[in-house]
Amino acid sequence: MIAVLALIAGVVAGVLLEPTVPLALQPYLPIAVVAALDAVFGGIRAKLDGVFDDKQFVVSFVSNVLVAGFIVFLGDQLGVGGQLSTGVVVVLGVRIFGNVAAIRRRLFRA
Amino acid sequence: MSAREGDDLPERGTSEQQSKVPPDFLVELFTNALDPGYAEAASRRTGRPQKAAWVALTARVVSLFLVGLLLAVAYREAVAAEPERSEAHAGLIDEVRAAQARTDELQRRSEHLRQQVGALRRAALGGESEELRRIRDEEAATGLAAVTGSGIVVTLTDAPAQIDPTTGRPSVADVSRVLDVDLQGIVNGLWASGAEAIAIDGQRLATTSTIRAAGSAVLVDFRPVASPYEVSAIGPGDLGDRFVGSAAAATARGLVERYGLGFAVRGESGLRLPAAAARSLRHAHPAQPVQPSQPAQPTSPTTGPPR
């Protein structure tokens, strides 16, 4: 419950405070969002499975975002930024789908 | 699928075996989406009691707050980037329109000035002299003066858009459009049939005019023209008959049969074709400086070629 409230508070703060992202970081924003979504859905699934762990969640969130951003940054430097971000999105997308499917099975037994 | 559900987490024994023989990465990715760290943390926790619950809770709340912030910021950035892109596009369109309007305005002024020059010349040369008639004929022939007379109008239109049976959307294949070569053929046929002045969609053709394609647009003297293409030609009385019997008209009729283009020829009296855009002479230089006081052309880099 408190987690949902924190998420909503974050969205509200983002809308109201209108923080500006430095121009250099803007290309990594979409990738960071996908990485964060992966961590969130992983956390929700772990919660439903009864194995949720705060440390694991925080570390997976931070490292997901940082690693995804770093891979894309590295790709940009090597001139294959587009392909590498596609790879990151595919891998994280598969994980998100897998976790959402597990959540769905838990909730709806289907 | 439901059989797989069981071996995700509770059977930790199998995952221990798997860690000895590393599984194929892709297989692992597709079958085991959950971070194995959760399972490990759960197994560690069973032994020891929970420590410092409030620290963990704060970390969870802070990171979820950050996730929410990230979502909102990314959404705002994406929304903010969209109008920027379309604004740039709209800005370019405005620039093109403004430049076209400026060209039109300058062209009008040029025509106006040319009429003044003509009037002054008539006054200077006096009445209907032989010189004046010759100048007028040559101006008409080179497209430097507007001309009126009777002639024919050839209309070429793109084929009607075909509905694609698979997508249900209109699709116009390139071959069913009027191409620059089609217009070139018509114009050449008209010249060959004895036309004295030709204009496409009101764009008078002079001796150095071009009919080109840029993408799917047809440009006449770098100005776009669009379907229906009206090629007006002024010429002798038998121009229409001669053109209809020409090879160019036969080719156009072939296009009508094969690709469904529209092609029509009609006679018209009282056609008025405007003057072509003024051309500067780029290749002709006076052999001697016109005025002796001026330095010779090659030694003065500041003066351009005579316009």
- Looking from the CA of B73 toward its CB, the CA atoms found within 13 Å total 25
Residue B203, CA distances (Å) to A76, B239, B277 in order: 49, 20, 9
Give, in degrees to the nearest 5, the angle at Cα A51 between A11 and B13: 140
Set of chain B residues whose Cβ sits within 8 Å of the Cβ of A28: none
Chain B CB within 8 Å of residue A25 CB: no
Determine, for residues B62 and A19 on separate chains, whether the beta-carbon distance falls below 8 Å. Answer: no
Residues B159-183 have pLDDT tens digits of 877 666 666 666 655 567 888 898 9
The domain total for chain B is 3
- Report yes or no on A75 lying in a domain: yes
Q: Which residues face B162 on adjacent strands?
A: B171
- Report yes or no on A37 lying in a domain: yes
- Report yes or no on B292 lying in a domain: no
Burial of B231 from C-beta contacts in 10 A (0-12 / 13-18 / 19+): buried
Q: What are phi and psi of B212, to 5 degrees?
A: -135, 165
Q: Answer whether residue B185 shows pLDDT above 60.
A: yes
- Report yes or no on B136 lying in a domain: no
Question: What residue numbers bound the domain in which B123 lies?
Answer: 52-127
Residues B68-108 have pLDDT tens digits of 888 888 888 887 777 777 878 888 999 999 998 998 899 88
Contact by Cβ (8 Å): B219, B212: yes
- Report yes or no on B284 lying in a domain: no
Pick the residue from chain A with its C-alpha nearest to B39. Answer: A51
Q: State the residue for tokens 């590393």.
A: B22
Partner residue opposite A98 with nearest CB, options B33, B37, B68 = B33
Q: Which residues face B272 on adjacent strands?
A: B148
- Report yes or no on A16 lying in a domain: no
- Report yes or no on B183 lying in a domain: yes
Q: What's the per-residue H, E or C state across B54-77?
A: HHHHHHHHHHHHHHHHHHHHHHHH
Chain B CB within 8 Å of residue A6 CB: yes
Q: Which of B64-68, B186-190, B217-221, B286-290 has the highest mean pLDDT?
A: B186-190
Partner residue opposite A10 with nearest CB, options B57, B66, B75 = B66
Partner residue opposite B39 with nearest CB, options A51, A62, A96 = A51
Same domain (yes/no): B22, B81: no
- Report yes or no on A15 lying in a domain: no
Residues A34-90 have pLDDT tens digits of 999 988 888 888 888 888 888 888 888 898 889 888 888 888 888 888 888 888 888
- Report yes or no on B267 lying in a domain: yes
Q: State the residue for tokens 């994280």.
A: A92
**Tokens matching residue B91:** 């800005």
What is the predicted pLDDT for the residue at A52?
Answer: 82
To the nearest whole angstrom, how far is the Cα of B24 from the nearest Cα of chain A? 14
Set of chain A residues whose Cβ sits within 8 Å of the Cβ of B59: 54-55, 58
Nearest to B31 by CA among B43, B20, B18: B18
**Tokens matching residue B63:** 């990171």
Question: What residue numbers bound the domain in which A88 lies?
Answer: 23-108
Set of chain B residues whose Cβ sits within 8 Å of the Cβ of A99: 33-34
A6-19: b (≥16 Cβ within 10 Å) or e: bbeebbebbeeeee
- Report yes or no on B209 lying in a domain: yes
Chain A segment 66-85 residues within 8 A of B by beta carbon are: none
Q: Answer whether residue B299 shows pLDDT above 70.
A: no
Q: List Cβ neighbours of B282 (8 Å cut-off, separation of 6 or more).
A: B305
Same domain (yes/no): B155, B203: yes
Same domain (yes/no): B191, B150: yes
What is the predicted pLDDT for the residue at B187?
Answer: 93
Contact by Cβ (8 Å): B67, A42: no
- Report yes or no on B226 lying in a domain: yes
- Report yes or no on A2 lying in a domain: no
The domain total for chain A is 1
What is the predicted pLDDT for the residue at B154?
Answer: 92
Q: State the helix-helix crossing angle for B53-125 and A2-17, rounded to 10 degrees.
A: 30
**Tokens matching residue A65:** 């975002």
**pTM higher than the cut 0.90:** no
Average pLDDT score, chain B: 78
Same domain (yes/no): B16, B41: yes
For A1, the 3-state DSSP assignment is coil
- Report yes or no on B137 lying in a domain: no
Determine, for residues A51 and B66 on separate chains, whether the beta-carbon distance falls below 8 Å. Answer: no
Q: List Cβ neighbours of A19 (8 Å cut-off, separation of 6 or more).
A: B69, B73
Q: Does an H or E element contain A63, and which?
A: helix A54-78
